[in-house]
């Protein structure tokens, strides 16, 4: 059974169809890439999975349960610009906020909550900056804090929206290794990314999306250039196709 199973999903926003007929699955132990051009609906798809935007039709199941019952098993890493970095909070405070769903509103964190925060900070190598105000962090450090906040929930499924955008190479490598380790540890990961070459070389499977699923499969199964032209609108002679190793 897939950890994430999306069937027949459709989303309309402002009376306009954004996604239609989306079928998607992520198995335990997989890192799956969700790629497509700007405006293809990738971020909307993640938000629809989480229930943050309403579905016009379709179902979303996590671990065999409807997302409404399984939300606490899902960690979400939004794009960095979606977070209010000027809010007066420390690194530890922000990561602890990822535990709110488990702690409950108006309740104080317990020993296990602090343990989960420390575990998450260790995974992203940020324990030493726990007391630092988040407004003083670099872009790479901020991204690591958002990942830690999601991991503090100890999720079985991790959704990541453009986790590598604007990061230096060492931070990209740290997160790539972390995501691989999480998958090997029995998590399921689904991420959007504009790094097409990185997705081809670093993901177990890919979904090419442009308002619906254009194609899916392991990277070596997506060598037909026509699929990429259809999904992204590339010219048939685009040099990027060569970089991606498709023809």
Kindly report the three-state secondary structure assignment for every residue of 56-97: CEEEEEECCEEHHHHHHHEEEECCHHHCCCCCCCEHHHHHHH
Six-digit token string for 196:
């097409």
Burial of 182 (C-beta count, 10 Å sphere; 0-12/13-18/19+): buried
pLDDT for the residue 58: 96
Question: Which residues partner with 17 through β-bridges?
Answer: 12
> Cα-flanking dihedrals φ and ψ of residue 194, to 5°?
-95, -5
Structure-model confidence comparison of residues 4 and 235, the more confident one: 4
Quick check: 209 and 45 in contact, CB under 8 A?
A: yes
pLDDT for the residue 19: 97
Strands 188-192 vs 157-161: parallel, antiparallel or unpaired: parallel
pLDDT in tens, 116-142: 999 999 999 999 999 999 999 999 999
- Kind plus residue range of the DSSP H or E element containing 158: strand 157-161
Q: Any idea what DSSP says for residue 14?
A: T
The residue extents of the domains of the chain are 4-85+155-243
Of the chain, the percentage scoring pLDDT greater than 90 comes to: 71
Enter the CATH code of domain 4-85+155-243: 3.40.50.300
- The pTM is what? 0.92
Mean pLDDT value across residues 4-32: 96
Listed in sequence order, the DSSP H helices in 86-192 are 91-97, 100-103, 111-123, 139-151, 169-184
Quick check: 153 and 50 in contact, CB under 8 A?
A: no
Of the chain, the percentage scoring pLDDT greater than 70 comes to: 99
């Amino acid at each position: 059974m897939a950890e994430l199973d999306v069937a027949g999903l459709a989303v309309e926003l402002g009376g306009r169809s954004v996604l239609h007929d989306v079928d998607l699955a992520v198995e335990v132990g997989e890192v799956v890439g969700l790629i497509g051009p700007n405006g293809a609906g990738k971020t909307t798809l993640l938000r629809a999975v989480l229930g943050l935007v309403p579905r016009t039709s379709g179902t979303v199941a996590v671990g065999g349960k409807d997302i409404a019952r399984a939300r606490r098993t899902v960690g979400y890493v939004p794009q960095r610009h979606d977070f209010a970095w000027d809010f007066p909070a420390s690194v530890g405070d922000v990561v602890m906020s990822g535990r709110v769903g488990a702690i409950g509103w108006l309740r104080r964190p317990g020993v296990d909550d602090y343990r989960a925060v420390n575990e998450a900070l260790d995974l992203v190598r940020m324990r030493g900056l726990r007391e630092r105000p988040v407004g003083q962090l670099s872009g790479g450090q901020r991204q690591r804090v958002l990942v830690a906040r999601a991991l503090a929930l100890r999720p079985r499924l991790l959704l990541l929206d453009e986790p590598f955008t604007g990061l230096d190479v060492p931070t990209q490598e740290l997160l790539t290794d972390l995501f691989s380790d999480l998958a090997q540890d029995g998590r399921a990961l689904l991420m959007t990314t504009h790094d097409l070459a990185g997705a081809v070389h670093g993901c177990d499977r890919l979904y090419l999306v442009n308002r619906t699923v254009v194609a899916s499969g392991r990277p070596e199964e997506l060598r037909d250039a026509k699929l990429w032209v259809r999904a992204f609108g590339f010219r048939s002679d685009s040099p990027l196709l060569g970089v991606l190793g498709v023809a």
